[in-house]
Amino acid sequence: RRRRRPSSPSPAAEHPLEDDDLLREILLRLPSQPPYLLRASLVAKRWRHIAIDPKFLRRFRVHHRKP
């Protein structure tokens, strides 16, 4: 009998943090204190690029605004 090969997962399923939109949503939910976003921005160049983007920072401030 032949064994069926398991279907390979989609690239997004293999590396969910390769999706910039998903990474933005994750970074957006970090606590609002500056050290958290700073530390996250040191993980990788791509993370830093997202963390220092003016549009992202504006959205981050709005997300963490006190009601």
Average pLDDT estimate for 37-52: 95
pTM of the predicted structure, to 2 decimals? 0.72
| C-beta of residue 36 within 8 angstroms of C-beta of residue 27 | no
In the chain, where the domains are located: 19-63
**Given this model, what pLDDT does residue 15 score?**
75
| C-beta of residue 43 within 8 angstroms of C-beta of residue 33 | no
pLDDT tens for 6-44 read: 665 555 456 777 899 999 999 999 999 989 999 999 999
Is 70 exceeded by the pLDDT of residue 56?
A: yes
